[in-house]
Homo-oligomer: A and B are copies of this chain.
C-alpha cells in the first residue's frame, strides 16, 4: 500500500517537474522572439514577434491535432480483455498514428515488462503531450529566424504547420518514441548497448530546425542589400537592438537548462555540462573574432574620417553578438549528451563548436546564404556535433564511451559471468534491464566494439534525420517559391513588413517622445 503511494507520489512529482520545466521551455519562444527581434531592423520587428507567437499558438493546435499522434501514437498495445499493456507495437517504426486530437488518453508510459526502456516517458498523457509540444514549437521557431525580414506571412503559416505537425514529429518518433533509431533492427547485430541517444533534442529538435532553416534560406535568397549583385560585396545589416537580443539569449539559456531539467534525471550533471560547454564555445568564438584582423568596422561610414583616425584606437573587437550566438551553439551541442558527458569533455566539445560555428558562419556568407539570426550556424552545427561527440566523451560508467573504452577483452561476448567481458550471454533475453538479447549468431569472445558502433549509429541517426528533413523541406519550399508566395515583394521588403502586413509598427512615431521638450506652448 505504502509502496504504491510512494510510486504514485513519485509519478506525480515527475509529472510536475516535467510540466514546470516544459513551461520554461515554452518561455524559450519569447527568447527566440526577442533574440530575433533584436537582430532585425525596426521595420520588421512586429512581423518577427507575431511569427514567434504564432509558432506557439498554431503549434499547439497542430500538435494537438496530429503532431503528437505522429510522434508518440500507438506506443503501447493494450490488451482490451485484461486492460493491461502486453507489448508494444513494432508494426510501425517510422511514424505513429494514434491519439489524434488527444483522443484515447489511455496512454501509459512504456515501462512494461519485456520491453526495454530506452527513452524514459514517465509523465502523464497530457504531460508528455505538453512537454513534446514545446520542443516541436522550438524546432519551427528556428526556421522563422532564418527567413526573417522577407518571408510572406502565408508561406510562414504553411511551413509552420507542416514542420511542427509532421516533419519534426516523425523524427521524434524515430529518436524518442519507439522508432527504428531507438530500437535498431535485430538484423544489424548491433551491440546491446547501442541505440540512438539524444537526451534533449540535439538532433530531432535543433538539427531538424537548423537544416530546414538552411534549405529555406537557400530557396528564399538573401535580403535585398545584403550582397551587392554587381560587385559581390557584402554588407552587414545590423539588428536594431542589442538589449533585446541579450535578454532573448538569456531566456534561451534558461530554456536550455529547463530542457535538461524536464526529464528530471541527471539534472545536476546536465546543467553543469550545458553551462561549461556553452561558455567554452562562446569564449572560443569571441576570441577568434577578436584575434582576427579582418573584422570590418561596418559602422565607420557614419563617422567622419577625421574623428575615426584620431579617436578609435582598438582595432579588434569583442563581439557581443558572436559571444551570444556561439554560446547558444555550445549549449545546443550539449543537448544530445549533457547527461553523460565528462565536464572536461563538455569544455572540449564547446571549443570545437566555437571553431565550427565561426567557420560555418563565414562559409554561409561566402556562399551568399543570408541567415539573419544565425539559425543554421547555431542549431545545425551545434546539433550535429553534439549528437556525434556525445558518446565519444561520455563518462566511464557508460559502456559506449569512446575515451573510456577498455578494449576487446572487456567489451565482448561471454558465457561466463565472471569474465572481464561486459556482456555475458546470461543477459540474453533479460530485457528488463534495458539490454537487448545478444545476437544469436555471436559466439563467445566476439569483440563488440560498442563505442564505435555507437558512434556509427549516432552518425547514421543524424544523417537520417537530416536527410528526412531535407527530403520534406525541399518540395515544400520549392512549391512555395514556384508559386511566388514565399517572399514578400521588393517594395514591402525595402520599406518594412510591419506596416504593410500588420498595420502595427514596432515603435510608432506618434507614441515616442517624453512630451516636455516642445518649444513654446503646446
Contacts and interface: CB of A to CB of B under 8 A. Distances in A.
B268 A123 contact: yes
A53 B320 contact: yes
A271 B312 contact: no
A494 interface: yes
Nearest to A59: B279
A26 B254 contact: yes
A123 B269 CA distance: 11
A463 to B, nearest CB: 32
B489 A239 contact: no
A178 interface: no
Contacts of A408: none
Most buried by B among A37, A46, A282, A318: A318
Total identical chains: 3
A19 interface: yes
Contact of A323 (B16, B57, B275, B324): B57
Interface string A476-502: 000000000000010110111011111
Contact of A246 (B33, B267, B272, B344): B33
Nearest to A492: B311
Contacts of A254: 23-24, 26-27
Given A5-B6, A496-B514, A520-B304, A317 B34 contact: no
Nearest to A289: B503
A302 B501 contact: no
A240 B507 contact: yes
Contacts of A319: 502-504
A315 to B, nearest CB: 10
Interface string A304-325: 1011001111100111110110
Contacts of A378: none
Contact of A320 (B17, B299, B324, B502): B502
B510 A238 contact: yes
Nearest to A504: B320
A167 interface: no
A146 to B, nearest CB: 18
Contacts of A30: 246-247, 250-251
A153 B515 contact: no
A347 interface: yes
Given A239-B508, A254-B27, A258-B23, A276 B517 contact: no
Contact of A299 (B124, B130, B280, B499): B499
A304 B519 contact: yes
Contacts of A283: 54, 57-58, 61
Most buried by B among A18, A129, A280: A129
Contacts of A295: 503
Interface string A288-305: 000000010111001110
Given A275-B130, A298-B503, A307 B23 contact: no
A508 B272 contact: no
Interface string A1-31: 0110110011011011111111110110110
A522 interface: yes
A264 interface: yes
A244 interface: yes
A412 interface: no
B267 A41 contact: no
Nearest to A22: B271
Interface string A57-92: 110110010000000000000000000000000000
Interface of A: 2-3, 5-6, 9-10, 12-13, 15-24, 26-27, 29-30, 33-34, 37, 40-43, 45-46, 49-50, 52-54, 56-58, 60-61, 64, 101-102, 123-127, 129-130, 133, 153, 237-244, 246-247, 249-251, 253-254, 257-258, 261, 264, 267-269, 271-272, 275-276, 278-280, 282-283, 295, 297-299, 302-304, 306-307, 310-314, 317-321, 323-324, 327, 343-344, 347, 489, 491-492, 494-496, 498-522
17 contacts: A9-B10, A20-B21, A23-B254, A29-B250, A41-B511, A58-B279, A61-B276, A64-B343, A124-B269, A295-B503, A297-B503, A310-B491, A311-B495, A319-B504, A507-B514, A508-B514, A509-B514
Given A238-B511, A314-B500, 11 more contacts: A16-B267, A19-B267, A23-B261, A49-B246, A125-B268, A130-B271, A241-B243, A241-B506, A243-B244, A243-B506, A307-B516
